Chain A
């Protein structure tokens, strides 16, 4: 209980800080837009092709955006050594991770929900009929990206070439999310959409597994 309360307080601070400056959100949204536009130059897809390749491109755009968006996660805490203050203030360091995962998931979801209608308009696909399932797929995918990404952000913050290191470590680890979420989204964007429940289950499983691993090993990531 104390863990969740601490995480809630920390999450409040993360959200307040971000919404005050909106630097991260605005740059991430613009980046995703740029990636989608650039993809369209390389592919010039028809509507059928958009349904087939679009979800993969969209998820790739979100993955690239996430690998940039997650950079400041722990770097921010190094500026005034606020990470030490957090570690002194909380009993369970996992609260710090939980809060950052929740914040990163929220920011990713905001980006995705803003970009989905834009993507639908640019590539003439619709998914109104399966909106709840789409939201669920994006939620589970975003959680997976955030869990692994936050853990790796803690690692890369302590290494050199961190701007390059985080995407380098993140993208191979997130292969399952990319593969599964693309398949699930393709199914949901077809003319006769259907929910691939096995894929949804696999994504949920991925999230649970890595959240558990982070719970077990998180304190070592913050150790000096």
Chain B
């Protein structure tokens, strides 16, 4: 992946609020993420991690506040790679068909070549003609990551990507995210607890009840973000 940090995208949340009925998923959230940062987002279930990522991807509309993107090559919504717990691919189609479909939708140049390359990178070239429903959880996650990377996004959002992965797949995922981080992508990673992947982050924030309660860069406080202790 070519390093082109000037195309990296920064993200700005300004007093963002999202309610579901009387429950605040995000409450008065202000957060500035610089281009190229790799941010780990920690928090218990229901703290707002998923909502934060989906709002960042403009999949969920914030009730109040604004989300803006800085940097990048154009002013419209940038290309965003999103990897969630759901694979976001079609079980009835093969891995190759899925990727070709999404590549054509996003007008990726030389779609076939790009798909073949990505299948190789994620280690699925041998299974490219198998329907995704025959894949294990780890293999499905690899297809999901390949799908997210098709259009070479500079903003990547991962929502608990390690869930359900065995040790081998988790290690592969960690090394892949490592590569992406080093290439200059801006990465937001929501994680349950500390893990190998968390150690990739250059910054960690902790959410509770929809608000940021701790925000620190690599250092002494880093571990405590994941332990849940806040000073």
Contact = CB atoms under 8 A, between A and B. Distances in A.
A–B touching in complex (CB under 8 Å): yes
Interface of A: 2, 5-6, 9-10, 12-13, 16-17, 20-21, 79-82, 84-91, 223-224
Nearest to A81: B86
Contacts of B57: 84, 88
27 contacts: A2-B107, A5-B107, A6-B105, A9-B101, A9-B104, A12-B101, A13-B90, A13-B93, A16-B93, A21-B92, A79-B91, A80-B89, A80-B90, A81-B84, A81-B86, A81-B88, A82-B89, A84-B54, A84-B59, A84-B82, A85-B88, A85-B147, A86-B105, A89-B105, A89-B106, A91-B76, A91-B77
A207 B142 CA distance: 42
B87 interface: yes
Contacts, number: 61
B105 A10 contact: yes
Q: What DSSP secondary structure best describes chain B's contact surface? A: loop
B227 interface: no
B217 interface: no
Interface string B72-105: 0000110010101011111111000100011011
Interface of B: 54, 57, 59-61, 76-77, 80, 82, 84, 86-93, 97, 101-102, 104-107, 147
Contacts of B93: 13, 16-17
B61 A82 contact: no
Contacts of A9: 101, 104-105
A13 B88 contact: no
B91 A80 contact: yes
A157 to B, nearest CB: 15
Contact of A13 (B60, B77, B101, B106): B101
A90 B87 contact: no
**Interface of A (DSSP majority class):** helix
Contact of A20 (B84, B92, B102): B92
A17 B91 CA distance: 10
Nearest to B153: A88
B111 to A, nearest CB: 10
Given A9-B104, A89-B105, A224-B54, 11 more contacts: A13-B101, A80-B87, A81-B84, A82-B90, A84-B82, A84-B84, A84-B88, A85-B82, A91-B76, A91-B77, A223-B61
A224 B89 contact: no
A2 B89 CA distance: 22
A17 B82 contact: no
B24 to A, nearest CB: 16
B102 A89 contact: yes
B83 to A, nearest CB: 10
The listed residue with most B CB atoms (<10 A of its CB), out of A79, A87, A88, is: A88
A21 B88 CA distance: 20
Contacts of B91: 79-80
Contacts of B59: 84, 87-88, 224
Contact of A17 (B60, B87, B92): B92
Contact of A88 (B82, B101, B104): B82
Contacts of B104: 9
B88 A80 contact: yes
Given A6-B105, A9-B105, A224-B61, A88 B89 contact: no
Which 5 residue pairs spanning A and B have beta carbons closest together?
A81-B86, A85-B88, A89-B105, A224-B60, A9-B104
A82 B88 contact: yes
Contact of B86 (A12, A80, A91): A80
B60 to A, nearest CB: 4
Contacts of B86: 80-81, 84
A85 B60 contact: no
B92 A85 contact: no
